[in-house]
Every structure is written in C-alpha cells, then in structure tokens.
Structure 1
Amino acid sequence: MNTTATRTPAPAAAEGTHDVITVSGLHKHFTSPTGDVLPVLQDIELTLREGEIVALLGKSGSGKSTLLRHIAGLLAPSSGTVRYRGAPVNGPNPGTAMLFQSFALMPWLTVQQNVELGLQAKGVLPYTRRRQALEAIDTVGLDGFENAYPKELSGGMRQRVGFARALVVEPDVLLMDEPFSALDVLTAQTLRNELLELLARPQSPTRTALLVTHSIEEAVQLADRILILGSDPGTIAAELRVDLPRPRNRRTPGFEALIEDAYECLTGERSDTPAPLGTHDPLGAAAPLPQANVEQLTGLLEELDGQDGAMALPALADALSYEVDDLMPLVEAAQLLAYARIDTGELRLTATGRGFANADILTRKHLFAAAVLANVPLIATIRTLLMASDGGRLREHHVTDRLLAGSSEQASRQQLALAITWGRYAELFEYDARDRVLLLPHEDHVAGGAR
C-alpha cells in the first residue's frame, strides 16, 4: 500500500492538539421483535482531534451512520463510552451539530426561521437569535434569501441552509451524514470547496468535522484521515492518512494512489473462496449473499471483458459511474460466483466469467445456474430441499426459520429475497408470492417424479 509515502502535509490538526471526541470500546447491538440480537458495531476506538476532518468510509450496512449518531448522543452504546472533551456523552452532545443528506428543512419556515431553530432550542433571545442567524446566512452565501421558503431554493441552496443551521450554534464538531449525495456532481463539488473554506477560517468556532461518505474520492478530497469500517458487525478495519496539500483533485500527486489504497482496504478482507459448509446447516452457516442485481453484475462482467478482462477498481467505478456502495456488492458477487478475482488491486475475469460475459441470453441462464449451485450454499440447499419434497413445494418459513440460526429476522428475509431472485433467474425454482411457497419448475418436477 502507498499510505506510508512522505508527502507535503495538509493543514491538519497540529501536534499536541486536544482530543475533542473520544470513543472507547463502543459496542452496539439491536434486538429484533423475536428476541434475536443483531450486532451492529463492535469494539470501536476512535479519536477526533481539534482542527481535523475525518471521513468514515465503508460498505452499505457497516454502521457508519449508527456510529455518527452515537457521537451526536442520539443513540446510547450497548457498552463502551463516547466522550466530548473528556466528559461522558449521556444525551445529545452539546459540542456537535448534525448535517443530513436529506436537508431536513421545515418547509413551512423561511430560511431565517430554519436557521434559528437550533438557537431557539438553546433559549437564545430573539434579537440575538436573529442577528446570529443572519450572519450565518451571509457566511454561506445566501444573503438575500432570508425570507424564502425551501420550495423556492435549489438543492444546493437548501444544503447551504443546512450548513448555516448547523454552524450558527457554533459547534466544536460538525457531524455530516452523506451531505452531498443528494446533489448533482457540480453542485456537490462547489459545496465541498465551500465547506473546506468555512472550516479553515481562523475566526470560525467550528474547525473539526466527521464525515460519513460512500464516495472514496470525496473522502480523499476532504479528509485528513480516512477510517474504513468493516462489516457484520462494523469495526474499524483500517486507517489511511491523507497527507496531501489542499486543494486536492485527481491531478494532485498521490491522489489516485490513495483511492487505490482505500479500495484495497475495502476488498482485502474478503476471501475469494466461499466458506466451507462442514457439518453446519448451510442455510444458517453460509456467508451472506451480497446484495447484487443480476443485470448489473452482467454489465460489470461485460465491462471487464471489453477491457481485456481486467480493470483497476477505481477505474471500473469511474467507467460504471458507481460509488462504493454500488460497486462492492457486485465485486463480491463476481468473486463468490468465481466469475472474477481481485489481483493486486484489479478485478480480473476468470475463464468462467469470460464465458458468461460472451454467452447469449439463454446460455447465460444455464451458466448462472451452474455457478450458484456450485458456490452459493443457500440456493443449492433450497434446490435440494425442493427436489426431495413432496410435490416440489417448500414453504418460505421453512427456509427463514433455518436462516434465523445465523442472523436476524430482517437479514434472513433479505437473504431469502435475494436467493429467490437469483434462483428464478437461473430457473432453478419458482416463487408464489401470494402463498409464500417455493416451487420447482414444472419440467424439473415432472422429471423428478419420473425418477
């Protein structure tokens, strides 16, 4: 990896600066209505220092937003502690303000009234509240729109209102949950630059930020450190330091190398070989299926085939216009089905994958069926149970009950839904949604009866 290279330092936190947020031994689990315990975060250790920007990067479901809400004091840990300047956080964190993806503005309030909300909650007097709100509105470039309603504003302007509302309460730490993901590319880029300018102002009381993002490029552009979360449950799997001068973009020396490092961290945990079944029930013990759409997986394999069978993951993401949350399930599915493997940062087609990419529609179905039967224990077991059943029928709950041995009820239903989609595409079984019954295709049922 390239993370140890010496580069011109960015204006990050200085040596010896104070720790603003400290997370120690944080564990979080949720309990389902059926009593199942679902671990979400495990043994999180995190320190956020004064004057730095830290990005949380991970696959969908790794617990990024959940961790952010613990730091904001909106969720309580199952065990472990969150501290703000040394004091335990046992409720809303007084040193933080939150910026959301969805803008979260009150549509019946004007821009100024929306910005005043936090000050009003803190009991600030109306005159002072108005003055501070107008200053914040001017700071984010919305002077002249004080009396406008959210419906009159563009997406970028609404998010500027969100910035103003968060910054007007003068938090030590700005917590951001994918704040640019709902914006178009150009607007998002403008706001990222404006955010960096706001945090870098010497007179600004807010100079520290924690950003949840699904964009590797965004993390490298904004952050001084990138924390990469593993999944099931969420853990901090790696830390990347971003010692690059600002402003940064893809032409900045070292930028592309850090993007590749981040992809390597995100993919390096997964084995190319499916877990052996051993003596366990394959429905309860097998690794979860990646949430991948067959059509998108096919497109990924075709893209690889058109590029001589191999592409670096960042280049592949750019070619498909995918972020991490979109790309990684497809990469995992390609590896699971033995269609591709990761080799020194590149996703490389196997002979099986190249055969699938070049096959016609009907042949692809047969090839896919062979791949899932060989590599996906859940689908193979469902098919076996159907072949052995009377009438080629299997009640859905017989599968979900056994899946519950290894996961929560919600996760079990998601896994079964994905298995059904893959199995139907491969024509290995059918599904009656009204009666919630899995069925053998008619020709297989007839053939099984003949035997």
Structure 2
Amino acid sequence: MARENLDTTLLTQDTIIDVPLIELRSVSKKFQLESGAELKVLEGVNLALRDGDVVALLGPSGSGKSTCLRIMSGLIEPTSGEVLSRGKPLRGINENVALVFQSFALFPWETVYENIALALKPVELGPSEVKERVKRAIDLVGLEGFEEAYPRELSGGMKQRVGVARALVMERPVLFLDEPFSALDVLTADTLRTEIIKIFQSGQTPARSLLIVTHNIREAVVMAKRILVMGVNPGHVRDEILNDLSYPRDEDSVPFGRMVSRVHALITETMIPDAPKPETVVRTAVKESALQILPDVQISEVIGLLESIQHEGGMTDIFDLSQAIGKDFGQTLYLVKAAELLNLVDTPKQTVILTEFGKRFVEGDMNIRKGMLHDLFGGLRIVQQVGELLKQSETLRLPVEVIEQKVAEWLPNENPQSVLNVLISWGRFSEVFGYNDDAKELYLDVGQEAL
C-alpha cells in the first residue's frame, strides 16, 4: 500500500485537528516480581507522536525506554494512565506501528525474501501484492541480489537491513526502532542511521513518524528532531530538547557538537546531579528520605575508573573519561555515580575529581583499599539497614529472600534482586557482608569462619 493509498479521510481529519498518531497520558507501569514485590518502572509519562515527528527516547538502562515503546505498541498494558491511537483508546496490538528490534530476530531457515514476507502473513493480501511490497522494501534498504540468501550468509549490518525491510513492508504510519544499531560496528551503524532518515524523508513509505529508543547520545542527535531525556527510579520524561539541525547532519560541525554537549550535560545532571559534598565520611549524611544504592557495576571497573582519573592528574572531563576507559557514556556515568556515592570522586558540572579519599584509595595497596571500602561502603544507609536487620538474628545471618523482601519495602522503585546482588558483591569485597550460596544466606562479616 503506497502513501497515497492510505485512508485519506482519516489523514485529513488527523491533520486538521492535529490528533497525535500515538499519545501517552500520565502513564505508569508496575511489574510483579517473583518474590511478590512490585517494581515501578514508569511513572507519569506524557508523550505524543505527531505527523512528521522523529523522536528519540534517550536515557540510561532502567529508565523505562523500551517499556514505553512496548506500551505504545500495545504489547503490554500500562498500570495506570491512557494510551491513545489517533485520539482513541488503544485496545490490544497497535496496528499503526511497525517495530525494528535490537536483535535481528530472523528465522535461519528462511531466505531474506521469506523473512520479510513473513511480516505480511497475518494480512490478507494476494501473492502479487505480497511480492510487490517485499520487492519495494528490499529495494529501499539496498538488499537487491540477496533475496535468496540465508541469514548465515549475511553480515550484522545486512541482517539488520532485513529487519528494517520487514518493518517497512507492513507499511504502517509509525516506525519504532528499539536500539536497532547497538549490536553493529560503528561504521555500519552510522550508515544505517543515515539511510533510515533518508528513507523516511523521501516519502517512499507510509511511515509518517519515527520513534527511536537509544542510550547513544550522538545517535539521538544524528536522527531525532525531538530528544526526550528519561530519568530513573522510576522512569519518567525528565526534559525535552528540540533539535532543529538540518538533515543530513554534519557530526563534525560546531552546531552538532554544541547539541551533543547540551544533551551530555542534561544526562549527566540526571545521573549525578551537582550537590555539596561532605569533607569527611558522615554515616548519617544521607537524608532519611533518600535511601541511595550503588549502581550495579563491578568493583574492578570502579577501581579502573579511579586509576584512569589519577593518570589524568586527578581531574578529567567526564566525556574524555568515557573514551579513556573504553565505556559508553551511560556506563561511565554509572561508574562515576558509584564512586561519588562512596565519596571517592566529586563531580562539579561535567568534571570528575578525585577526593582526598579517592587519592588515598588509588595510592594504597589492596589491604588499604579493602579497609577504606569497608568504612565507605559500610557508611551507606542501605548497608547499615541491612546490617541492623542481620543483627536481629542470633546467628547474624538471614536467608536472602528475607533481605530481598525488606529491600523491596525500602526501595519500591528498584529491582530488589539487583540491589541484593550489589550488596553481596560489594559486601564480600569490603568484608562487610559474607554470603553462603549453598544455604542462600547473607551474614555479617565479623571475622568468623564461613559455615
């Protein structure tokens, strides 16, 4: 079905009264965990996609980006709030949406042509119409000559072209892209981003709006006209940035660099907001209403981050730090946040500075480092609360499911299993907690032999 064959009455009405193609109104979402606890992943999300929109949902892992996409697709329902499709409540799968997934999701026993044609199986179309649509989609994404190839014969970039063609062949007005380039090499990803925008702008498909889910800042700036920055705990839209740079966007231009820096600054403020830091470790410094936890990162990676900052003279720009340690910007922010919560670094604006504790930590041997972490990690209120819980047991140990249930009560917007994993790994290293995997018990490490 070509663009001109769409329901023109519906299009005209939508255009006149500016009805969004898809809209979320005060949408929240909770998931039930195996432990019985509820995990809130979204709260109060408002979002509208209109004709001509290219919108990026940008944020760190756990900000609910993909959950938003699935709710708008009708794959899952919100716990509260409204989902509208062309102004009407969405019931079931959203038939205005086509999806491109992060994984290629190709059937290995089907050819390129057959994988694309499978998207039309639920639609009652004649063989000639199916053939015409598939051929048109193949031509758009540059897969001519590969119709009879199997997925095993294709590179990652070619496989994702099949995924894009499979979405385009459905000829839906809205195209969702769920981190579709994250599994590709840099050059291939750059090429595909540019080609998808060209296809959208060309008017050769009925796609009238694009929604891109990404954690890649440059990707958002390259593709999107509007960038919605997501916050966490629970996921919410923190801010919206209008990106009026003309297409095709020159990544080496000064305006592009300014836009990237602007988004970087907002993401950084979202993850590690500026706040006065204490000069010494004060165990009651965290406000009672702000029970903070360490991000789910490896201790060795935090140590590597601190050593990299020391190598730069004890102070570095957070963007340069991301490149120096070979991590994407989002993961770097989590590592910096962990170090900051332990008072090992300070983060004025977009600079990361070793504190006096951080300098002593980096310069110390393993015993000094473990001793410092014992005090710093033990000073976190979540650790203190778990410690008090363990002290109520005569054996100073409790089953992990008991701890998990308490964590779910204290932190309803966090995944208690992830929090517990962090407590175990960091607790073991700092010798604050011990863990017996056979008994599935957490215990206070007071120098006793593990049972």
Q: TM-score range by the shorter chain?
A: 0.7 to 0.9
In structure 1, what residue type is equivalent to 2:173? D
In structure 2, what residue type is equivalent to 1:210? L
Deviations 1:412-440 (A, max 9, x none): 22212211111111122322110122345
Quote the residue 2:6 is aligned against.
none
Match of 1:322 among 327, 333, 337: 327
Q: CA deviation at 1:339?
A: 1.1
Call closer, same or farther: CA 1:109–1:329 in 2, change over 3 Å.
same
Q: How does 1:251-270 map to 2 (within 5 A)?
A: 251-269=252-270, 270=272
**Residues in 1 aligned to 2:236 and 2:408: alpha-carbon distance in whole angstroms:** 23
CA contact (8 A) 1:400 1:413 kept: yes
- Which has the larger displacement, 207-216 or 428-437? 428-437
**Residues in 1 aligned to 2:414 and 2:221: alpha-carbon distance in whole angstroms:** 34
SS at match of 1:30: strand
**Residues in 1 aligned to 2:86 and 2:396: alpha-carbon distance in whole angstroms:** 63
CA contact (8 A) 1:292 1:329 kept: yes
Deviations 1:431-451 (A, max 9, x none): 211012234557x349xxxxx
Q: How does 1:373-384 map to 2 (within 5 A)?
A: 373-374=378-379, 376-383=380-387
Q: CA deviation at 1:35?
A: 4.2
- Which has the larger displacement, 175-184 or 34-43? 34-43
Q: CA deviation at 1:384?
A: 5.5
SS at match of 2:21: strand
Call closer, same or farther: CA 1:445–1:405 in 2, change over 3 Å.
same
In structure 1, what residue type is equivalent to 2:234? P
Q: How does 1:206-245 map to 2 (within 5 A)?
A: 206-245=207-246
Q: Is 2:294 the counterpart of 1:293? A: no
SS at match of 1:256: helix
Call closer, same or farther: CA 1:308–1:409 in 2, change over 3 Å.
closer
SS at match of 1:160: helix
- Which has the larger displacement, 139-148 or 195-204? 195-204
- Which has the larger displacement, 91-100 or 29-38? 29-38
Deviations 1:77-121 (A, max 9, x none): 222222222232212112110000101112221111111122221
**Residues in 1 aligned to 2:74 and 2:395: alpha-carbon distance in whole angstroms:** 54
SS at match of 2:143: coil
Q: CA deviation at 1:179?
A: 0.1
CA contact (8 A) 2:19 2:87 kept: no
Call closer, same or farther: CA 1:275–1:231 in 2, change over 3 Å.
farther
CA contact (8 A) 1:95 1:172 kept: yes
In structure 2, what residue type is equivalent to 1:414? S
Quote the residue 1:7 is aligned against.
none
CA contact (8 A) 1:200 1:207 kept: no
Quote the residue 2:421 is aligned against.
417
SS at match of 2:27: strand
CA contact (8 A) 1:172 1:207 kept: yes
Match of 1:308 among 284, 308, 313: 313
In structure 2, what residue type is equivalent to 1:418? V
Match of 2:442 among 429, 438, 446: 438
Quote the residue 2:148 is aligned against.
147
SS at match of 1:404: helix
Call closer, same or farther: CA 1:64–1:275 in 2, change over 3 Å.
farther
**Residues in 1 aligned to 2:445 and 2:203: alpha-carbon distance in whole angstroms:** 69
**Residues in 2 aligned to 1:441 and 1:180: alpha-carbon distance in whole angstroms:** 45
Quote the residue 1:345 is aligned against.
350
**Residues in 2 aligned to 1:82 and 1:242: alpha-carbon distance in whole angstroms:** 26
Deviations 1:128-159 (A, max 9, x none): 10121012112111111111111111111010
Q: Is 2:40 the counterpart of 1:39? A: yes
SS at match of 2:22: strand
Quote the residue 1:426 is aligned against.
430
CA contact (8 A) 1:110 1:149 kept: yes
In structure 2, what residue type is equivalent to 1:372? F
CA contact (8 A) 2:157 2:188 kept: yes
**Residues in 2 aligned to 1:129 and 1:367: alpha-carbon distance in whole angstroms:** 66
In structure 1, what residue type is equivalent to 2:131? R
CA contact (8 A) 1:70 1:77 kept: yes
TM-score, L = length of structure 1: 0.87
**Residues in 2 aligned to 1:354 and 1:170: alpha-carbon distance in whole angstroms:** 58
Q: How does 1:22-421 map to 2 (within 5 A)?
A: 22-269=23-270, 270=272, 272=275, 286-374=291-379, 376-383=380-387, 390-407=394-411, 411-421=415-425
Call closer, same or farther: CA 1:72–1:441 in 2, change over 3 Å.
closer
**Which stretches in structure 1 are left out of the alignment for 5+ residues?**
1-13, 447-451
Call closer, same or farther: CA 1:403–1:366 in 2, change over 3 Å.
same
CA contact (8 A) 2:97 2:174 kept: yes
CA RMSD of aligned residues (A): 2.6
**Residues in 2 aligned to 1:268 and 1:410: alpha-carbon distance in whole angstroms:** 20
Call closer, same or farther: CA 1:86–1:382 in 2, change over 3 Å.
closer
Identity of aligned residues (%): 37
**Residues in 1 aligned to 2:86 and 2:17: alpha-carbon distance in whole angstroms:** 14
Quote the residue 2:12 is aligned against.
none
SS at match of 2:43: strand
**Residues in 2 aligned to 1:275 and 1:196: alpha-carbon distance in whole angstroms:** 51
